[in-house]
Amino acid sequence: MGDLMDGIKGRRSTRNFLSDKDVPEDVLARVFEAVQWAQSWANTQCWELVVVKNPETKQALQGTLSKGNPATRAMVEAPIVVAVCGKLQSAGYYKGQVTTKFGDWFMYDLGIATQNLCLAAHSLGLGTVVVGLFEHDKVREILALPEGCEVVTLLPLGYPAKGSGAPKRREISEFVHHEKF
Ligand SMILES: Cc1cc2nc3c(=O)[nH]c(=O)nc-3n(C[C@H](O)[C@H](O)[C@H](O)COP(=O)(O)O)c2cc1C
């Protein structure tokens, strides 16, 4: 438990990467294994990952980020960018029909899978930053995603160049409510 809590609390968003230090394939495989074992709605496992190493593609992805996004440099500096995509109409569905008022749960399941990925990467000495603020349809085109598949986040991944401090968290007492809200 100690190790797990250390990992959860010690993981930081990395926005500065060692651009010349590649991630070995066996290390990358361990990171993806953490996604493989993520929990998901009825074990639907709706995730699809696109691994981008080509510098021109990374540059094109960088061009889709909203102006002033603090992860802009990371998109080309990191040796790898993982596009976290999801198959629609799977999580939260039963026999083609939505089962809850929330409709498609793909973003929820991708969030869990992403956290597994980020924590596994951190445990292996790698850094990541979840990037959500970009033009999703442009990335769909760049990565040639098929119909029924959407990209949700882009994750620059690599060895961190420097650490960063932890942004302040809310107190537990501010968000835990007992018996009723
Ligand atoms: C869904 C999601 C989207 C995010 N999008 C961006 C982003 O577009 N650019 C960025 O620099 N950081 C982004 N972040 C990183 C958050 O800013 C970061 O997780 C938060 O400030 C807490 O810092 P920590 O990850 O170091 O604990 C995103 C995080 C999440 C979970």
State the distance from the centre of ligand 1 to the C-alpha of 15, rounded, in angstroms.
Answer: 10
pLDDT at 120 over 90: yes
Could you tell which of 72, 130, 164 is best to mutate to test the pocket of ligand 1, judged by most ligand atoms within 8 Å of the CB?
130
pLDDT per residue as tens digits for the range 23-48: 999 999 999 999 999 999 999 999 99
What are the start-end ranges of the H helices in the chain? 2-10, 25-36, 55-62, 74-77, 106-123, 136-142, 172-175
Residue nearest to atom 28 of ligand 1 (CA): 130
pLDDT at 12 over 80: yes
- pLDDT band for position 141 (cuts 50, 70, 90): very high
CA distance 161 to 145: 31
Residues near 173 by beta carbon (within 8 Å), at least 6 away in sequence: none
CA distance 106 to 100: 13
Q: What is the mean pLDDT of residues 6-17?
A: 97
pLDDT at 1 over 80: no
Q: What is the mean pLDDT of residues 12-18?
A: 97
Residue nearest to atom 12 of ligand 1 (CA): 131
State the distance from the centre of ligand 1 to the C-alpha of 86, rounded, in angstroms.
Answer: 19
- pLDDT band for position 164 (cuts 50, 70, 90): confident
- pLDDT band for position 155 (cuts 50, 70, 90): very high
Q: What is the mean pLDDT of residues 36-64?
A: 98
Q: Containing H/E element for 50? A: strand 47-52
pLDDT per residue as tens digits for the range 64-91: 999 999 999 999 999 999 999 999 999 9
- Smallest Cα–Cα separation from 106: which of 169, 46, 48? 46
Could you tell me the pTM of the whole model?
0.97
Q: In the block, which residue shows the tokens 């021109």?
A: 56
State the distance from the centre of ligand 1 to the C-alpha of 94, rounded, in angstroms.
Answer: 32
Could you tell which of 114, 118, 119, 129 is best to mutate to test the pocket of ligand 1, judged by most ligand atoms within 8 Å of the CB?
129
C-alpha distances out from residue 107 to 16, 31, 90, Å: 26, 20, 11
State the distance from the centre of ligand 1 to the C-alpha of 71, rounded, in angstroms.
Answer: 9
In this structure, the residues whose C-beta lies within 6 A of any atom of ligand 1 are 12-13, 69-71, 129-133, 166-167
Q: Give the number of the atom of ligand 1 that is nearest the alpha carbon of residue 66.
A: 8
